[in-house]
Structure 1
Amino acid sequence: MLKGKQRPLIAVTGPRRRGLMPRLLVHLGILLAGGRGTQMTPASPKPAAPYHGVVISGGHDVDPVLYAQKSEVTPRYDPERDAFESEVIDDALKRNLPLLGICRGAQLLNVRLGGDLYQELRSRRLQTSNRWTIFPLKTLHVHDNTCLCDLLGSHSARINSLHNQGINRLGQGLQISGRDLDDIVQAVEDPARPFLVGVQWHPEFLLYMRRQRRLFKALVEAAKECRDRDC
């Protein structure tokens, strides 16, 4: 196993407060994949060392003002985090850094690329439950010829669900790589970049599943290549 500075550094973003357990599990996923994580929040936005990959973690809904819409639901927004993570995503896109967006992270990535969101999904669910769960109780249909299909090694998988918003209009360069039984987008990626993947589920809660750990492995491997070419 790689030690210390040999491991590529992955920035893991989050809010000023709360959300510690999911981020600790993200750090574990990165560690198991051969990387090392560093926390980035609005309170501590500058890591001590250069990083070569990014995970935008889950959390509160993305404020619809970012995609020029009015709020249609009871607000659960974090404007400070929206602004901070928008800057991190924009910088990662500019530098072509490997990036994994998880749940809210996938949604904000889509917004930063010019897409928008469904502000609520309950009314769009006919075959799937709207109940939040960390357990893999929902079915993911994976599209052919995608990075996600290669990573999961299957055209279907079991996933969890902790979100009430979802991707609507795709951002520039993104393609859909997975949907659920209600045809709701569950994964997006940009095949023109070394590694740019957004997933609506939380793979950090599914680290006991080898195929879910592959998402972190692919991120870390892409970060190694980024480090070696001095991104």
Structure 2
Amino acid sequence: MKRPVILVSTPDAGGIAAWWFIKLGVALAGGRALRATPAKSPPLCTAEGLIVSGGSDVFPELYGQQPQQKKKTGILPPRHLLKRVAGSVILPVFLFLLRRLLSLKQAPRHDRPRDALEMSLITQAETLGMPVLGICRGMQLINVVRGGSLHQSIADFYEDVRHPHTVLPHKRIFIVKGSHLQSFFPYTSLKVNALHHQAVDRLGTGLSVAARDEAGVTQAIIDEKKPFFVGVQWHPEYMPQHNSQRSLFTCLVRHARNYGRYKENHETPAPDGKQDNR
């Protein structure tokens, strides 16, 4: 079978660094990434998998709340950041600097056209049985689509536990015992990056918590009844140097390839010449 196509949703403006690194992650896993934005989105039927990437906050009215003023989380102090960077390898430092360089323009806090597009894509992918990976905002939106809600600010959760806000893997998370996520990571815990200030609150229908951090904040969600329907709070695309993070893309592409085979075997020509997916 040809390389499976993974549709990657991004904003119209910005998100270039995330797109490049997600594209790299998909390519290393054996797939081909296809970008979708609110202004220009290829039909989902042209793909075998879906990635909903990170970015602006999900509009609160979608989960029954009004926008709140942002609170600052425990950002890693500059002196500690410099110490960590000095002790890191070249690639993480390069990723950090590149992301900063490509993120100079302030992104809008809310992006309602993007909310609409990605909610539609998630719903369609579920209907089709297509594998889905949500990254940061993408995980939060998956939860909202399933009827869940979000904490608009997680600052209060980190009064006693440090919450490093960094593209480097300095945040410890713990995989929930027995979760299907353990099949992706051969560890009970691992270190990830952290670029979020919101998180899952009330869990959506059919979802379960697959990972938490030291403060108990949800770091991954999963639908155990589906072959691959996963959301992670961190950004695996910015850690291509770690096998554990590349494995997320590898698993997604593997399931996309399986979905592609199924789709090929269940598409028959309809009387009007269109394809009928059964």
Fold match by TM threshold 0.5: yes
Larger Rg: 2
| 1:107-186 equivalences in 2 (<5 Å) | 107-186=140-219
Aligned to 1:195: 228
How far is 1:72 from its partner? 1.5
Check conservation: 2:60, 2:67, Cα contact below 8 A.
Answer: yes
Going from structure 1 to structure 2, the CA distance change for 1:7 and 1:169 (only over 3 Å counts) comes to: same
CA distance in 2, matches of 1:20, 1:155: 32
Aligned to 1:101: 134
Aligned to 2:27: 31
Aligned to 1:64: 60
Name the Cα RMSD after superposition: 1.5
CA distance in 1, matches of 2:161, 2:57: 20
Aligned to 2:270: none
Q: Which runs of 5+ in 1 are unaligned?
A: none
Aligned to 1:19: 15
**Deviation readout 1:153-206 (Å, 9 max, x if unpaired):** 010000110000000111111000100000000000001001000000000001
Taking structure 2 as the reference length, the TM-score comes to 0.79
Q: Percent of aligned positions with the same letter in both sequences?
A: 38
Check conservation: 2:221, 2:231, Cα contact below 8 A.
Answer: yes
Going from structure 1 to structure 2, the CA distance change for 1:128 and 1:207 (only over 3 Å counts) comes to: farther
| AA aligned opposite 2:2 | Q
Q: Which runs of 5+ in 2 are unaligned?
A: 71-107, 264-276
CA distance in 2, matches of 1:97, 1:49: 10
SS of 1:229's equivalent? helix
Check conservation: 1:126, 1:182, Cα contact below 8 A.
Answer: no
CA distance in 2, matches of 1:57, 1:219: 14
SS of 1:216's equivalent? helix
CA distance in 1, matches of 2:44, 2:113: 21
| AA aligned opposite 1:180 | D
SS of 2:184's equivalent? helix
1:82 aligns with 2:78: no
How far is 1:73 from its partner? 2.3
**Deviation readout 1:102-141 (Å, 9 max, x if unpaired):** 0000000000000000000011113443442100001010
| AA aligned opposite 1:39 | R
| AA aligned opposite 1:7 | R
